């Protein structure tokens, strides 16, 4: 079925209020989750909403919790998320990074003891829509083996870099450190399809593009093999050591669904130092050069990071958001 954005938003808002969330906060969370689906990140939108509500019911997500300042110095601050909603905590932290950036040119906010922020790109868009450049990342439960290992001791630690465009069609890089998500493997397995490149190792220790084989071993490969493995580790070190939050190792010792993660948010108010119009023109030269690339045989359109999201958004605004009947019925019954 397809559901209009406004309908998805209002049903999810109502369910959150029924489960103890203030109307204002319920509206923020439901808006971002509906937007994630609208913009094509189905795994972290409507499809994940029932799991979020179960998190509230099990006490992992505390709807009334607000972030509290732990310590700060100049342009850097760190907050305890007090296990509130991952989405509202992360929006708050990026707001703080932007406030500090307005004052100092650059600002950083750390967030400890928070919950899954759903789509990483959300916080990049939050900043670029206000004219800041932004970087942010989170750590996670261990879900990826380091290069050369068989057991998962790294997080996939999603990482975002975002820069605004004048026309609002912003440039946003949003990537977990695994080559594919477990969600993507499940979808391909159900459809009987292979992945476009190797997704992990099979039980014989060979690289494989068969999603079933990789789901069996859970030996996902890091994007770029040793490269994504090493970057994931440093993202965890930054997210936990600069904030004194939990590192992936610490998160692995908590019981229940993923919670208590650590995050960092950076905003740059570059317009305080350079002519914003000139920065926009530089970006347009870079995009034009990229898009003049000669396509490989059989390849799709050459896109810049963020462009595909806008295609999904336009289509889903027009036609409604595709939602599995079972997923929607589960939400209605919560």
Does position 270 interact with a second copy (CB under 8 A)? The reply is yes
- What is the helix (H) or strand (E) element at residue 28, kind and residue range? helix 23-38
**How far apart are CB 38 and a second copy at their closest, in Å?**
21
Which residues between 204 and 233 bind a second copy (CB under 8 A)? 205, 207, 219, 222-225, 227-228, 230-231, 233
* Side-chain-facing half-sphere of 312: CA atoms under 13 Å: 16
Task: Please identify, using beta-carbon distances, which residue of 117 and 304 lies nearer to a second copy.
Answer: 304
Does position 244 interact with a second copy (CB under 8 A)? The reply is yes
Do the beta carbons of residue 154 and residue 240 sit within 8 Å?
Answer: no
Distance CA 38, CA 27 (A): 16
Task: Please identify, using beta-carbon distances, which residue of 62 and 249 lies nearer to a second copy.
Answer: 249
Chain center to CA of 49: 15
CA distances to 108, 128, 130, 300 from 252, rounded to whole Å, are 26, 33, 36, 39
Distance CA 298, CA 196 (A): 13
Distance CA 97, CA 90 (A): 10
**How far apart are CB 66 and a second copy at their closest, in Å?**
20
Catalytic site residue 44?
yes
| Interacting residues of 67 by C-beta distance below 8 A, sequence separation 6+ | 79, 80, 81, 82, 84, 89, 92, 93, 111, 114
- DSSP 8-state secondary structure symbol assigned to residue 178: B
Which residues between 126 and 165 bind a second copy (CB under 8 A)? 133, 145-146, 148-151, 153-154, 161-163
**How far apart are CB 112 and a second copy at their closest, in Å?**
10
**How far apart are CB 186 and a second copy at their closest, in Å?**
20
Does position 182 interact with a second copy (CB under 8 A)? The reply is no
Task: Please identify, using beta-carbon distances, which residue of 299 and 332 lies nearer to a second copy.
Answer: 299
- Candidate list 44, 116, 170, 259, residue with the active-site label: 44
Which residues between 43 and 82 bind a second copy (CB under 8 A)? 71-78
Give the residue from 211, 100, 242, 220 showing the smallest Cα distance to 153: 220
Which residues between 271 and 310 bind a second copy (CB under 8 A)? 272-275, 278-280, 282-283, 285-286, 288-290, 292-302, 304-305
Tell me the residue length of the chain: 334
Which residues sit opposite 163 in a β-bridge?
171
Which residues between 4 and 43 bind a second copy (CB under 8 A)? none
Task: Please identify, using beta-carbon distances, which residue of 294 and 318 lies nearer to a second copy.
Answer: 294
Task: Please identify, using beta-carbon distances, which residue of 10 and 72 lies nearer to a second copy.
Answer: 72
Which residues sit opposite 112 in a β-bridge?
80
Which residues between 92 and 121 bind a second copy (CB under 8 A)? 103-108
Distance CA 107, CA 74 (A): 9
Task: Please identify, using beta-carbon distances, which residue of 56 and 247 lies nearer to a second copy.
Answer: 247
* Candidate list 93, 120, 121, 235; residue touching a second copy; CB under 8 A: 235
E strand map for 185-286: 200-201, 207-208, 261-268
Active site residues: 44
């Amino acid at each position: 079925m397809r559901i209009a954005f406004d309908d998805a938003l209002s049903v999810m808002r109502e369910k959150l209020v029924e489960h103890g969330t203030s109307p204002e906060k319920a509206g923020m969370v439901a808006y971002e989750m509906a937007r994630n689906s609208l913009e094509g990140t189905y795994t972290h939108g409507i499809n994940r909403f029932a799991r979020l509500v179960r998190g509230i019911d099990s006490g992992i997500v505390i709807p009334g919790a607000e972030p509290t300042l732990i310590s700060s110095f100049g342009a850097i601050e760190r907050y305890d998320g007090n296990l509130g909603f991952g989405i509202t905590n992360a929006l708050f932290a990026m707001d703080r990074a932007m406030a500090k950036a307005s004052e100092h040119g650059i600002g950083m906010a750390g967030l400890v003891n928070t919950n899954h922020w759903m789509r990483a790109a959300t916080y990049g868009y939050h900043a670029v829509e206000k004219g800041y450049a932004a970087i942010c990342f989170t750590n996670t439960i261990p879900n990826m083996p380091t290069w050369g290992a068989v057991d998962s001791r790294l997080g996939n630690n999603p990482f975002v870099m975002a820069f605004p465009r004048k026309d609002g069609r912003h440039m946003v890089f949003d990537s977990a450190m695994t080559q594919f998500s477990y969600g993507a493997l499940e979808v391909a397995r159900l459809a009987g399809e292979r992945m476009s490149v190797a997704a992990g190792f099979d039980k014989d220790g060979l690289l494989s593009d068969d999603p079933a084989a990789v789901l069996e071993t859970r030996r996902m490969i890091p994007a770029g093999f040793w490269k994504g493995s090493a970057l994931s580790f440093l993202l965890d070190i930054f997210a936990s050591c600069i904030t004194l939050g939990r590192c992936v190792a610490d998160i692995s010792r908590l019981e229940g669904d993923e919670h208590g993660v650590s995050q960092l948010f950076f905003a740059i108010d570059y317009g305080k130092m350079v002519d914003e119009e000139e920065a926009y023109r530089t970006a347009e030269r870079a995009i034009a050069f990229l898009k003049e690339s000669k396509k490989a045989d059989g390849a799709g359109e050459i896109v810049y990071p963020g462009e595909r999201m806008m295609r999904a958004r336009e289509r889903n605004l027009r036609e409604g958001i595709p939602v599995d009947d079972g997923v929607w019925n589960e939400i209605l019954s919560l």
